[in-house]
Structure 1
Amino acid sequence: MSQTRPRMTNLFEQLGLDSSEEAIQTFIGTHQLDADTFLTQASFWTEAQRQFLEEKIDSDGEWALVVDQLNESLHEDSVNS
């Protein structure tokens, strides 16, 4: 069992996405969601990615905190406008 503390880079790796800091910032900047779109409803996820995110949210563990951080980051524009 991995003792790695979940971080945004780990989440992106688990999602099969580029996990470099630059790639994460680019992804977040180019995938902003409107206020009415929940993270797992976003059209850009594959079904496997969507299931992974839902499982982590439902687990309410350390991964849920990182997924919530991603959710907040993807909604920055809708909150700040």
Structure 2
Amino acid sequence: MDTSKHTLNTLFAQLGLPSSDNQIEQFVSNHKLSASVQLADAPFWTESQKHFIQESLAEDADWCELIDILDAQLRH
């Protein structure tokens, strides 16, 4: 069981994305979602990223809070 504290940086690393603060800000500014698109269905995810997000949310995993934060940031 992973007991480390998760951050947006570690979420991005888990997704295989560049994970520095600046890279995360860049990702968020370049990828916006409308209210009608679910986060996991966003066109910019790979299949493995989509699966990770879906599975984490379905299992109410430790990542859920950070996935929700990312979701909110992509909508503002």
Report the TM-score range of the alignment, normalised by the length of the smaller protein.
over 0.9
1:26 is matched with: 26
1:2 paired to 2:21: no
String of CA shifts for 1:19-58, please: whole Å, max 9, x gaps: 0000000000100111111101100000000000111111
Letter in 1 for 2:8: M
Asked if 2 retains the 8 angstrom alpha-carbon contact of 1:58 and 1:64, the reply is no
- Return the offset for 1:7: 1.0
TM-score, normalised via structure 2 length: 0.93
- Higher helix share goes to which structure? 1
Identity percentage over the alignment?
37
How many residues are aligned here? 76
- Return the offset for 1:62: 2.5
Asked if 2 retains the 8 angstrom alpha-carbon contact of 1:40 and 1:54, the reply is yes
CA RMSD between the two structures: 1.0
Q: Structure 1: state its 5+ residue gaps.
A: 77-81
